[in-house]
Structure 1
Amino acid sequence: MTQTVEKISSSPSPSLLRTAGLPYFLIAFAARLPFAMMVVGVLTLVVSARDSISLGGLTSASVGAGTACFGALIGAAADRFGQRPVLLVIAAANSAMLLALALVAYSDAPDGAVLAVAFGIGATAPQVAPMSRSRLVTLITQRMEPSRRERTLSSTMAYESAADETVFVVGPFIVGLLASALAPWAPLVGAAVLTVLFVGAFALHPSGRLVAAERSADGTAPSAVRELFRARLLVVVVGIFGVGTFFGTMLTSLTSFMDDRGLSERAGLMYGVMGIGSAAFALGVALLPARFSLRARWATFSAILFAGSLLLLAVDDVAGMAGALALIGVGIGPTLVTQYSFGATRSPAGRTATVMTMLGSGVIVGQSLGAAVTGEVAERAGTHPALLLPVLAAAVVAVAGAVNWFLTGARNENR
């Protein structure tokens, strides 16, 4: 396997935007959309075709289960063989699975077949966001002067997280638009088309040939697999799983809250209060001074997230909910950026894509699991017990941040 590695010259290195090129960022953004449409699109289709909210929740959870089982393996394959061939195969397989569910859901096939195909959708989900982070980290570490790497890495993780937040607001909106204007199967067909077009373009972009400098000619990594299970890395995985769980529990419990007031159709708009604030503050992380270390950022912003979640238990009107969501947005965006920054700096040599897909899978698995559990709680026990679940998820993020504080140590606060 050919390594595409360039040595750093003595002249000042160009910005990351110039190095990667503007088309790269546009393609990488669009290629995220199918992933953001999958969980909501699957839920919308199954509820409509099978007339079962319970099966819809289980099917969405099956998507998350597939990602949990195979997401990191896709990242490992990308590290071993390069992103381009892996993404091309995965894009084709995922498009086929999306189209298959659109057919199976309306057929006489048993519910188990629907769940199996949904699992396949998750298992073949293109890990565009983690792989984009991996590519950009490789560009930063291999083509920029050491003095510029730390700030550029922080800015890059901030942008990537803001892009994720934006896509996960836009994705469900597109699903709703297609389902309302055409049919419940339309979002999955649309996601299949977008996967072929934009994930394919992302795979074929010149940066798709990049290989970590640590990898040998045959693609093997110098680091052992066991290094992926170090406590300092696993605590980041647990923390980001907590963030994903918060997303799932918050959206579902918010939907129940708004439905109690006859405003269920506005749940997405209310959720956008958190999403927009989260994206804005995620971008703002790049402006924070270097002396505000990564471990301090995680501890600080996760505390803000937890404080905002506690307000959920006291609100009784839409205005109060909007205020709580606004505060939560201040905490969750910077926390997510910080966790990805830790993931980048703690990746074992030659395994950046593996680590980034571990973190990306943690978000989607947490989101799917949180949504499924919260839906059951809301249906059986009501909205107030359901609102306890985002608080528990926020507590997981904060506790993981506290553990990370002690694992990191004052001498190595940003690693």
Structure 2
Amino acid sequence: MTHASPQEQSDIRTQATDAPSLLRIAGLPYFLIAFVARLPFAMMVVGVLTVVVSARGSLSLGGLTSAAVGLGTACFGPLLGAAADRFGQRTVLLILAIANGAMLVLFTVVVYAGAADALVLLSAFGIGATAPQVAPMSRSRLVTMIADRMPEAVRTRTTSGTMAYESAADETVFVFGPFIVGVLASALAPWAPLVGAAVLTVVFVGAFALHPSARAVSAHRDSDGRAPSAVAELFSARLLIVVVGILGVGMFFGTMLTSLTSFMADRGAPEQAGLLYGVMGVGSAILALGVAWLPARFSLRGRWLAFSGILLAGSVLLLFVDTPAMMMLALAIMGIGIGPTLVTQYSFGAARSPLGRSATVMTMLGSGIVVGQSLGAAIAGEVAESAGTGSALLLPIVAAGIAFAAGVVNWRLSATAPRVRSERASVA
């Protein structure tokens, strides 16, 4: 193994010091717009549930409509990412901003007009299918800017920090989204959150689409928008194991929140489930941001194993939880593991994206979380109702086990498989 000479090391340090920051390249308004543009997505699932339960008086139908939103996103999310890679984000996002805003209003009208349940479910599916994939596309834009406009010496740490920020932003939005839904529904009317989400979608997703960074198409795309990599590269084992791992994280989110709600309902305080869940969310967001400061010698594959192991250990404590205080302790421990695990998985996704297909990969990962969350919530709700809270609390352990097992497989694949070409210097 060759080592850089003192002069080469000095040149690398100088290059890193003189490199423009990503904040300077993208601009502060970009981060503000991208943050607010995520809010509608976080408001949709809870907003749909609130409207249906209020207007139709059916919790069962409300749950099905929420699942339909997730199903629509899962089915069309990767296709929208592929379209953005092929035709550019600006065109795709502008179409989605208008279509999704219209679907949110249409769904509200359909529910209150007393239409058939099938039409309610179909319109809910349409909301998910047209949901603008702001978070994955933001990751794709930033990764492209890092790869194309920053020196190689700073790409690894900058990418790690970017994935940490993006994950923390996602978690913050998914805490505030349901809160905003509750405030609007209580202060105005049950339909207000969806109308508000429609307005935010048109205004801020439109602004996100029109931002100059939307023109930042990877240098690996040709003038016709074609990528040099084959579609088959999206199904390589090294990339699919990341999708499996992030699916496990999504399942953990869904099963944990649902089983926690059942746990608190047994104690006569189901409305406090969100407060306890926030203990994990806050810790997770803080630790996710801290990943950027971990030493480079703590490799990505090592981080996946270490933090998913903490998540699994914390979830095992659910077997012994019998008070809200013990539940808070278990959630705090799980929060240490969940955020960094998610950041690491997204970093692997960025590193293993085939040339010119970063938006496709990021939407695959985002859809993996949505599918896992919807599937986990549905299964946990059914188990809690039929077999009790104790059985439901086993499901987060299974989900954490999937994330950890995927990390074990990834360890082996990272050690033995040849490196794939990526849109930036490999961080693995």
TM-score above 0.5, yes or no: yes
Equivalent position of 1:251 in the other structure: 257
Equivalent position of 2:229 in the other structure: 223
Equivalent position of 1:20 in the other structure: 26
Q: Indicate which of 308, 316, 331 corresponds to 1:302.
A: 308
The correspondence of residues 90-129 of structure 1 with structure 2, limited to 5 A, is 90-129=96-135
- Please list every run of 5 or more consecutive structure 1 residues that lacks an aligned counterpart in the other structure: 1-8
Distance of 2:286 and 2:17 partners within structure 1:
34
> Does the CA contact (< 8 Å) of 1:165 and 1:279 recur in 2?
yes
Equivalent position of 1:74 in the other structure: 80
Residue type matched to 1:122 in 2? G
1:176 aligns with 2:182: yes
Residue type matched to 1:215 in 2? R
Equivalent position of 1:402 in the other structure: 408
> Does the CA contact (< 8 Å) of 2:248 and 2:400 recur in 1?
yes
Segment drifting more, 257-266 vs 298-307? 257-266
> Does the CA contact (< 8 Å) of 1:60 and 1:372 recur in 2?
no
Distance of 1:54 and 1:392 partners within structure 2:
25
Secondary structure at 2:131 match in 1: coil
Residue type matched to 2:175 in 1? V
Q: Indicate which of 272, 276, 280 corresponds to 1:270.
A: 276
Aligned length: 407
Distance of 2:17 and 2:217 partners within structure 1:
23
The correspondence of residues 179-198 of structure 1 with structure 2, limited to 5 A, is 179-198=185-204
Deviation of the 1:67 alpha carbon: 0.9
Deviation of the 1:11 alpha carbon: 9.3
The verdict on how the C-alpha distance between 1:154 and 1:10 changes in structure 2, with shifts beyond 3 A counting, is closer
Secondary structure at 2:319 match in 1: coil
Deviation of the 1:54 alpha carbon: 1.5
> Does the CA contact (< 8 Å) of 2:16 and 2:153 recur in 1?
no
Distance of 1:372 and 1:199 partners within structure 2:
29
Deviation of the 1:10 alpha carbon: 11
1:213 aligns with 2:213: no
Structure 2 length normalisation: TM-score?
0.93
Segment drifting more, 193-202 vs 378-387? 378-387
> Does the CA contact (< 8 Å) of 2:16 and 2:154 recur in 1?
no
Q: Indicate which of 54, 61, 68 corresponds to 1:55.
A: 61
> Does the CA contact (< 8 Å) of 2:318 and 2:330 recur in 1?
yes
Deviation of the 1:13 alpha carbon: 2.4
Distance of 2:17 and 2:346 partners within structure 1:
29
Distance of 2:146 and 2:221 partners within structure 1:
16
Segment drifting more, 380-389 vs 79-88? 380-389
Deviation of the 1:412 alpha carbon: 7.4
The correspondence of residues 278-317 of structure 1 with structure 2, limited to 5 A, is 278-317=284-323
Distance of 1:280 and 1:11 partners within structure 2:
26
Equivalent position of 1:389 in the other structure: 395
Equivalent position of 1:41 in the other structure: 47
Residue type matched to 1:36 in 2? A
> Does the CA contact (< 8 Å) of 1:309 and 1:390 recur in 2?
yes
Distance of 1:104 and 1:388 partners within structure 2:
38
Residue type matched to 1:15 in 2? S
Cα offsets for 1:89-133 (capped at 9, x unmatched): 011111111111111112221111111011111111110000000
Residue type matched to 1:295 in 2? R
Cα offsets for 1:252-294 (capped at 9, x unmatched): 1111111111111211111110000000000000110000000
Q: Once superposed, what is the RMSD of the aligned Cα atoms?
A: 1.5
Q: Indicate which of 163, 169, 172 corresponds to 1:166.
A: 172
Secondary structure at 2:122 match in 1: helix
Deviation of the 1:383 alpha carbon: 1.2
Deviation of the 1:204 alpha carbon: 0.6
Q: Indicate which of 354, 371, 374 corresponds to 1:365.
A: 371
Distance of 1:221 and 1:92 partners within structure 2:
28
Distance of 1:175 and 1:369 partners within structure 2:
23
> Does the CA contact (< 8 Å) of 1:302 and 1:394 recur in 2?
yes
Distance of 1:400 and 1:390 partners within structure 2:
15
Cα offsets for 1:390-412 (capped at 9, x unmatched): 11111110111111111111797
Deviation of the 1:51 alpha carbon: 1.5
> Does the CA contact (< 8 Å) of 1:239 and 1:400 recur in 2?
yes
Cα offsets for 1:277-313 (capped at 9, x unmatched): 0000000001100000000000110010011111112
Deviation of the 1:166 alpha carbon: 0.5
1:153 aligns with 2:159: yes
Distance of 2:301 and 2:225 partners within structure 1:
33
Equivalent position of 1:32 in the other structure: 38
Deviation of the 1:149 alpha carbon: 0.3
Distance of 2:376 and 2:53 partners within structure 1:
18
1:378 aligns with 2:384: yes
Distance of 1:382 and 1:46 partners within structure 2:
26
Cα offsets for 1:213-243 (capped at 9, x unmatched): 0000000000010100001000101111111
- Please list every run of 5 or more consecutive structure 2 residues that lacks an aligned counterpart in the other structure: 1-14, 420-426
